[in-house]
Amino acid sequence: MAIEPQALLQALQTVLDPLTGRDFVSTKALKNLQIHGAEVSFEVDLGYPAQSLWPELGQALRGAAQTVAGVGQVQVHWQTRIVAHQVAAPTVPALEQVKNIVAVASGKGGVGKSTTAVNLALALAAEGAKVGVLDADIYGPSVPTMLGLQGQKPESLDGKTMEPLLKHGLQVMSIGFLIKPDDAMIWRGPMATQALEQLLRQSNWQALDYLIVDLPPGTGDIHLTMAQRVPLTAALIVTTPQDVALQDARKGIRMFEKVGVPILGLVENMAMHVCSRCGHAEAVFGLEGGQRLAAEMGLQCLATLPLALAIREQADRGEPIVVAAPEGELAAQYRRLALRTAAALSLLGRDYSSKLGALKVQSHP
């Protein structure tokens, strides 16, 4: 019995991407459908890195295809096709080797922004993306410590540009590589913003899908520089559930809205502390404050992360939890954050799925 291609496509269209809510047929992510007797094969191009989801989604697609009469073996081939999305300041020169720049910001210091930025970058890399980290916290760079790169200096092969340092699969640049650890950065706004632009544009980034920028806390000159003079794609906000932190997070959200930078969502950090000895759970900084703020501001709550001793210990050791315990529950939470962040970014700007080519169906007796 010959397999009807249209019936097969209709069956495959019932499977939805759990993160975007869209099917793979109408978005043209499903390509090169081939039918060889009872055997079916096709490719799926995802616009964000999600290698951990491939087995589950592949099983769902195979199951849908096999509901069609005559279908036997089904092969699903996965590809990740991350594109550059529209930037907030389109007149700003692009970085040729960087597709998307995502700022990680917080209105208040001490909410775990840098820890979140580093683990987010590592989780994106674990899902198959090429990722860089720019430590833009000029006054308090902590990325070198968190990635175990203290005391190292970037090389310059031409005397004009710098080579990012490499660690755990990430390309990394920080002002912390260029100053002594105990030096205080007593810089006025123009000097700090100039230093940020030099770090960004004079670093030899290599074919990055995402550059994660760890911003300083607050809403100052560096934030305006990022919005107006850097090809910024989007931002995400990190806060704790505490009322004081939420007030400042709200200001950060308003700032990005005023300068036209899309906000992918909000991360509620240190939401719950679970005692490592007795297992007692306690909302040290309040309960669900970040989730309420996200709902109030019309944003997605991308993750609710715990206050966990292991996260702090591993960051201090230069081995963040995502690489120190990749199979653990804490790493899994950062992986889920990475998936939701990348999926939200993939929906921004123009629809690039039209550039993937028309769907071709080939039938063979």
Which residue ranges make up the annotated binding site? 107-114
Beta bridge partners of residue 75, listed in sequence order: 41
Indicate the helix (H) or strand (E) that contains 339: helix 329-346
All residues at 6 or more sequence positions from 108 whose CB lies less than 8 Å from its CB, including other chains: 217, 218, 239, 244, 245, 248, 249
Q: How far is CA 113 from CA 32, 187, 304, in A?
A: 42, 22, 13
DSSP 131-186: EEEEE--TTS--HHHHTT-TT-----SSSS-BPPEEETTEEEEEGGGTS-TT----
Annotated binding site for ATP: 107-114
Residues 162 and 173: beta-carbon distance below 8 Å = yes
Say how far apart CA 131 and CA 159 lie, in whole Å: 25
All residues at 6 or more sequence positions from 199 whose CB lies less than 8 Å from its CB, including other chains: 134, 136, 173, 174, 175
DSSP 257-300: HHTT--EEEEEE-S--EE-TTT--EE-TT-SSHHHHHHHHHT--
Q: What share of the chain is helix, strand, coil (3-state, %, to 5)?
A: 35, 20, 45
Say how far apart CA 145 and CA 157 lie, in whole Å: 25
DSSP 39-76: EEEEEEEESS--GGGHHHHHHHHHHHHTTSTT---EEE
DSSP state, residue 105: E
Say how far apart CA 237 and CA 290 lie, in whole Å: 10
